[in-house]
Amino acid sequence: MKALVARKPSKLDTLELIDLPDPGAPGPGQIRVRIHANSLNYHDYAVAIGAIPADDKRILMSDGAGVVEAIGSDVTEFAAGDHVVSVFFPYWQDGVPPHGNFSHVPGDGIDGYAREIVVAPSDWFTKAPKGYSHTQAATLPCAALTAWRALVVEGGIKAGDSVLILGTGGVAVFALQFAKAMGATAIITSSSDAKLEKAKALGADHTINYKTEPKWGEAVRQWTGGRGVDHVLEIGGPGTLPQSIAAVRVGGHISLIGILTGIAGPVPTMLMMAKQIKLQGIIVGSRRHQEALIRALDANPGIRPVIDKTFPLTALADAFRHEEGATHFGKICVEL
């Protein structure tokens, strides 16, 4: 069985394709899955380059999709032949998150899905949406679920709401599609006019180039008639949070999702208090959240992942370099 691992010191040049023993038949409560695709997230990249420390020979990639080859004796939810997709937090099945770190995340604290076959507990997976390819399904566990939880689970988005979405990566593009499916108005920011044009083609109602409009928070307020937006998907972190606070309405909701501009920085707390903003940290979601997302996608077959480029598993380092270049729109995937 082939697997792609990170070697210490972790960097893209030391990623290694290795042979591992076949994991064999599933035991009670387990399923055997032939993995066909992964998708890249910033978290995977951080592990691959050593920014997030992981064990030597850690099998990479948190997101995997494939087909069930066999089930354990007491498994009733799945059958051989089912198309399935992994869960980002396998030990967070429902309710309040059980921990505040990545110690149980595949590709980080435990081995991930950059391998041909995995035998794991059945509740580490859900069924994939009907009609999705394995590559499309692999985009869901981190990016799509993050956008879903931010807007639907925590944000309570409804028709007529307005949403500000930072960037055009995987989470952002899913958020755009979910917002439009819910009947909301969507505003997208980017430093690339070409990417903004692609966002318009997906339904973005307004776009802002933050390079040419550095005070984009005020521009958003003006575009909304001085009211501000109901929801913000804050993907940049400390470098963009002040502008997001300026852009949101009184009593609005900001989902703090990304750290692309760093892990700490000044926050205009007085403005937050004056606006009575709800600022909430979001890291993906539970298995129950993912099941709800899958049901929504089954009910809205027009929503499909936007895949920028696909690489073979043997070229995973090149896939990460493509992500590093920040030219992509939507998701980057690998196929096994």
**The CATH number of the domain where 97 resides is what?**
3.90.180.10
Q: Note whether 65 and 148 are same-domain residues.
A: no
pLDDT at 99: 85
Q: What is the mean pLDDT of the chain?
A: 96
Main-chain phi, psi angles of 2, to 5 degrees: -85, 145
As a whole-number percent, the residues of the chain with pLDDT over 90 amount to 92
Q: Examine the pLDDT at 100 and tell me if it is beyond 90.
A: no
Across-strand partners of 120?
A: 31
Contact status, residue 68 vs residue 81, Cβ threshold 8 Å: yes
Q: Note whether 152 and 225 are same-domain residues.
A: yes
Q: Note whether 173 and 117 are same-domain residues.
A: no
CA 239 to chain centre: 20
Residue 160 is part of a domain; what is its CATH number?
3.40.50.720
Q: Note whether 152 and 130 are same-domain residues.
A: no
Q: Note whether 180 and 108 are same-domain residues.
A: no
User: What mean pLDDT comes out for the span 166-173?
Assistant: 95
Q: Note whether 248 and 327 are same-domain residues.
A: no
In a domain, 287, yes or no: no
In a domain, 21, yes or no: yes
d(CA 141, CA 48): 19
The phi-psi region of residue 323 (left if phi > 0; otherwise alpha if psi is between -120 and 50; otherwise beta) is alpha
Q: Note whether 36 and 156 are same-domain residues.
A: no
pLDDT tens per residue, range 235-286: 988 889 999 999 999 999 999 998 777 788 888 889 999 999 999 999 999 9
Closest by alpha carbon to 63, among 156, 136, 152, 164? 136
Burial 138-168 (b: 16+ CB within 10 A, else e): bbbbbbbbbbbbbbbbbbebeeebbbbbbbb
pLDDT at 10: 80
As a whole-number percent, the residues of the chain with pLDDT over 70 amount to 100
Q: Note whether 20 and 131 are same-domain residues.
A: yes
Q: Note whether 163 and 233 are same-domain residues.
A: yes
pLDDT at 57: 95
pLDDT tens per residue, range 293-303: 999 999 999 99
In a domain, 157, yes or no: yes
User: What mean pLDDT comes out for the span 4-14?
Assistant: 91
Q: Examine the pLDDT at 212 and tell me if it is beyond 80.
A: yes
User: What mean pLDDT comes out for the span 124-142?
Assistant: 98
User: Which residue has better confidence, 132 or 53?
Assistant: 132
Q: How many domains does the chain have?
A: 2
């994939």: which residue's tokens? 128
> Measured over all CA atoms, what is the biggest interatomic distance in the chain, rounded to whole angstroms?
62
Token digits of residue 7: 């070697």
| One-letter identity of residue 213 | E
Burial 204-220 (b: 16+ CB within 10 A, else e): bbbbbbbeeeeebbebb
Q: Note whether 175 and 53 are same-domain residues.
A: no
Q: Which domain holds residue 117?
A: 2-139+305-335
d(CA 127, CA 83): 6
pLDDT at 28: 98
User: What mean pLDDT comes out for the span 214-231?
Assistant: 96
Q: Examine the pLDDT at 170 and tell me if it is beyond 80.
A: yes
Q: Note whether 131 and 249 are same-domain residues.
A: no
In a domain, 310, yes or no: yes
User: What mean pLDDT comes out for the span 107-117?
Assistant: 97
pLDDT at 259: 78
Q: Examine the pLDDT at 199 and tell me if it is beyond 90.
A: yes
Please return the burial class of 10, using the count of CB atoms within 10 Å of its CB with bins 0-12, 13-18 and 19+: buried
Q: Examine the pLDDT at 157 and tell me if it is beyond 90.
A: yes
Q: Note whether 203 and 235 are same-domain residues.
A: yes
pLDDT at 45: 96
